[in-house]
Amino acid sequence: MKIHEYQAKEILRRYGIPVQPGEIATTPEQAEQIAQRFGVPVVIKAQVYVGGRGKAGGIQFGDTPAQAGDAARRVLGMNIKGLTVEKVLVTPKSDIKEEYYLGIILDRASQAPVVMVSAAGGVEIEQVAEETPEKIVKEPIDVRWGLPPWRARELLAQAGVPPTVVARGGAILSQLAAAFTGADATLAEINPLALTADGQVLAADAKILIDDNALPRQKEFAAWAEPEEANPIEFEARAEGLTYVKLDGDVGIIGNGAGLVMTTLDMVARAGGKPANFLDIGGGARAETMKKSLLFVARDPQVKGILVNIFGGITRGEEVAKGIILAQQELPAGMPIVARLSGTGAEEGRAMLAGAGLTWGSDMRDGARKIVAAIAAQGK
């Protein structure tokens, strides 16, 4: 789960990591008042779930409270990579002398969090990673002890962070590792860790991703979840226990199991169609879930037809068929639906579909061809 910069900084604060004070404004007037309280100059930072805010103009400055209000007026409502800015973080502007990078990410290969440090922090860190990977020091964390401050200091020193920053930076990195575990993060990064002109070391920007599987025990963070404006269907689907990913095509796709759904997308593409989405209903779905899934998929205005591909194990064909028939009554009239059922209850399911005048595919390939043909026929 994505969270905003100000929320990530709130987590860091709880772990004793120095972060500048900051407050959220949703109107220019609020931004002006906050600037007045903090003292100027201030930075106005768009709070959206995408990177590259700065380059998009989502980070602006105010030398007076009135200017802060104007800056907020420009940033609020701005569209950054398809997302509308609804809130800005107002925070005192620091005079940053140097920028470092501290990151912790879950690494499949080492089956542990891996810590990464670079003396070349800032917005160009990806370029650093690509062109001069030797400038990034990496090491898996032994989860039995976490990352002790002494080891964190050594890593900073190895990365070429100046001695004056190593002691404080090491304490910050060690605490970042503690925050990573404590918050059930899959990614926690401070970029940049800033050395300011007045000698402070602080997290000037922060990004944290929370493990979705841990949300049941991280109730506070779970409550921070916001619909991503670019894909509200994904957000609502997740709340229903479905995994939905929006794509660019016009063939709606529903299946059970991630691998099977991905394979169905490939098969539709091979049949000449363009998948509109990925939707995994998981295992053991009942008619009601099936119906909801179809309605979710159909909410995408680009969708011209839907392919349902179910290999029944715990999921029963009759339930799937029942769900499709229920959904059909609420779907736009004439929208083609092709269902392919196999495994448990497949024959019963097919009989129900036939009774309702619905098309089925004998296998995944046949189903893909039929839905692509049905959509093409409609366009004529």
| Binding flag, residue 247, another protein (CB under 8 A) | yes
> Considering the complex, what minimum distance in angstroms separates the CB of residue 311 from another protein?
4
Sheet holding 42-46, edge to edge: 23-25, 88-92, 42-46, 59-62
> Is the Cβ of residue 2 or residue 74 nearer to another protein in the bound state?
2
Give 126's contacts (C-beta < 8 A, 6+ positions apart): none
Amino acid identity, residue 292? K
Binder of another protein out of 20, 191, 277, 328 (CB under 8 A): 191
32 is catalytic: no
Total residues found in the chain within this entry: 380
Cα torsion for 240, 243, 247, 249, to the nearest 10°? Answer: -80
101 is catalytic: yes
Selected catalytic residue, list 32, 98, 139, 189: 189
| Binding flag, residue 217, another protein (CB under 8 A) | yes
Residues numbered 38-57 forming contacts with another protein, rule: CB under 8 A: 51
| Binding flag, residue 116, another protein (CB under 8 A) | yes
Binder of another protein out of 73, 207, 316, 350 (CB under 8 A): 207
Instruction: Give the span between the Cα atoms of 14 and 20, in whole angstroms.
Output: 13
Find out whether 173 and 188 touch, Cβ atoms under 8 Å: no
Cα torsion for 319, 323, 324, 330, to the nearest 10°? Answer: 170
Name the burial class of residue 199, with classes exposed (0-12), middle (13-18) and buried (19+) by CB atoms within 10 angstroms of its CB: exposed
| Binding flag, residue 344, another protein (CB under 8 A) | yes
Binder of another protein out of 28, 62, 65, 103 (CB under 8 A): 103
> Is the Cβ of residue 86 or residue 107 nearer to another protein in the bound state?
107
297, two tokens: 């998929």
Binder of another protein out of 167, 197, 295, 314 (CB under 8 A): 314
Name the burial class of residue 164, with classes exposed (0-12), middle (13-18) and buried (19+) by CB atoms within 10 angstroms of its CB: exposed
105, two tokens: 């990410």
Instruction: Give the span between the Cα atoms of 51 and 45, in whole angstroms.
Output: 12
Binder of another protein out of 225, 230, 269, 331 (CB under 8 A): 269
| Binding flag, residue 126, another protein (CB under 8 A) | yes
**Binding region for another protein (CB under 8 A):** 51, 101, 103-109, 111-114, 116, 125-126, 129-130, 136, 138, 142-144, 181, 184, 186-187, 189, 191, 207, 209, 211, 213-214, 216-217, 247-248, 255-260, 262-263, 265-270, 275, 278, 283, 311, 313-314, 342-344, 363-365
Catalytic residue numbers, as ranges: 101, 189
